[in-house]
Amino acid sequence: MQAFRTVQFVALGCLTFGSRGFRARKKSFNPTALDIDLTGKHYIVTGGTSGLGFVTAQQIAERGGTVHIVCRNGAKGETARSQIVAQSGNDRVQIHVCDISSLAQVRRFADEWRRSGLGIAALVNNAGILVNERRVSEDGFELSFATNTLGTFALTEMLLPVLEKSKDARVITVSSGGMLTEGLEVDDFDGKGLSNAKGIDGSKQYARSKRHQVAMTEHWAEKYKDKGIFWGSMHPGWAKTPGVESSIPEFYNALKGQFRSAEEGADTIVYMAVAEEVLSLPSGEFFFDRQVVPKHLCAAGTRYSGTKRERLLESLEGILKEKGFALDGQ
Ligand SMILES: NC(=O)c1ccc[n+]([C@@H]2O[C@H](COP(=O)([O-])OP(=O)(O)OC[C@H]3O[C@@H](n4cnc5c(N)ncnc54)[C@H](OP(=O)(O)O)[C@@H]3O)[C@@H](O)[C@H]2O)c1
């Protein structure tokens, strides 16, 4: 079954995830969807120091928005901030140092934001990693789970009281097409079942966390459907970024001729974060190149029940409650 999924994934990827696929679909994009003045609106972009997050922050700044880059490395954040200000001419770019894999830092950032009284036009959950060896977060969780799944979940839940008070808020979670190769894992967050000579099969653990993000987005859209928030997960395609080049060098080197640029990869993130027309699209869906696309490959055995999804969410909530988080905006 795994080989069947991989073959389908690579075939789909070669046809659509690269630059050629983007350019083909771009012909049907609304050419004015991003012609919008974002002055006065606040956007949070996690992982805005590099790759897709950097481009997203830059594109929002170019449209006048106030951008809040959440980064784990203050010096990199400052460099990104200076570049974006210089290129956009917009000095409303702020950095917030917060390691998303650290529950204490996520809580501190969210508490500070809540106290600031600022609204949120969009929270872009972009920070993400693929680690090819076993590493653990300061809370003791496997690092890609801690970053992509748990930290993203904690940040979003902690900001919910602000999101629901903000008009037409959006939460865009940058998942990955790689999640198509995995089902919903609810029992082995640590990836113990993926042990290999390096400690863990990092690509599989990454794909599982990216599947978690898709399931979390479905859950939020259902649970908070009356709160006036647009929820969407997305796949950026195969985009040339520092993260891809360093985390999957063999895959990148084999296919780099097909890769899209970071700007092409970030296009749908920016679209989902700012375009007016997005608010009339269904919430809780998975997007690629400005369209809702299927969350499963054909006959791949990755579908899951609502009950299983709720088990994931109960486990994540359980971890946060154990760490003393107050959820549901309490
Ligand atoms: N590029 C692709 O082809 C592709 C395909 C599918 C999905 N994605 C997803 O797109 C997102 C962006 O990836 P990218 O390709 O742009 O990679 P990237 O160049 O490595 O950028 C990732 C960003 O996330 C930040 N980050 C990582 N861990 C963090 C943490 N614990 N706390 C705060 N920030 C953290 C990084 O910060 P540092 O600068 O400090 O490392 C960096 O700014 C990821 O979620 C990735 O899974 C990318």
For residue range 252-291, what is the model confidence (pLDDT) as tens digits? 999 999 999 999 999 999 999 999 999 999 999 999 999 9
In the set 206, 224, 271, 304, the catalytic residue is: 206
In a domain, 251, yes or no: yes
Return per-residue pLDDT of the chain as tens, 330 residues: 888 899 999 999 999 999 999 999 999 999 999 999 999 999 999 999 999 999 999 999 999 999 999 999 999 999 999 999 999 999 999 999 999 999 999 999 999 999 999 999 999 999 999 999 999 999 999 999 999 999 999 999 999 999 999 999 999 999 999 999 999 999 999 999 999 988 999 999 999 999 999 999 999 999 999 999 999 999 999 999 999 999 999 999 999 999 999 999 999 999 999 999 999 999 999 999 999 999 999 999 999 999 999 999 999 999 999 998 887 654
Structural domain total, the chain: 1
CATH number at residue 106: 3.40.50.720
In a domain, 32, yes or no: no
304 CA → ligand 1 middle, Å? 27
Helical ranges in 89-241 per DSSP H:
103-116, 143-144, 152-165, 202-223
d(CA 27, CA 36): 20
In a domain, 83, yes or no: yes
Pocket test for ligand 1, best of 241, 258, 288 (most atoms within 8 A of CB): 241
Largest CA distance in the chain: 51
In a domain, 194, yes or no: yes
Per the CB < 8 A criterion, the answer to whether 286 and 235 are in contact is yes
In a domain, 9, yes or no: yes
Pocket test for ligand 1, best of 58, 73, 129, 139 (most atoms within 8 A of CB): 129
Ligand 1 neighbours by CB, cut-off 6 Å: 46-47, 49-53, 71-73, 76, 99-101, 126-129, 147, 174, 176, 235-236, 238-239, 241-244, 265
Measured from the Cα of 127, ligand 1's closest atom is 24
93-97 and 122-125 strand pairing: unpaired
Atom 43 (ligand 1) nearest CA: 47
In a domain, 330, yes or no: no
Measured from the Cα of 242, ligand 1's closest atom is 19
Q: Which domain holds residue 258?
A: 2-26+38-322
d(CA 43, CA 79): 19
In a domain, 33, yes or no: no
Closest-CA residue to 260 (of 279, 288, 286, 281): 288
For residue range 264-275, what is the model confidence (pLDDT) as tens digits? 999 999 999 999
Q: What is the dihedral of CA 204, 205, 210, 212, to 10 degrees?
A: 120
Residue type, 25: R
Closest-CA residue to 210 (of 252, 149, 251): 149
202 CA → ligand 1 middle, Å? 15
d(CA 52, CA 172): 13
User: Does 206 participate in catalysis according to the annotation?
Assistant: yes
In a domain, 187, yes or no: yes
d(CA 291, CA 294): 10
pLDDT of residue 230: 98
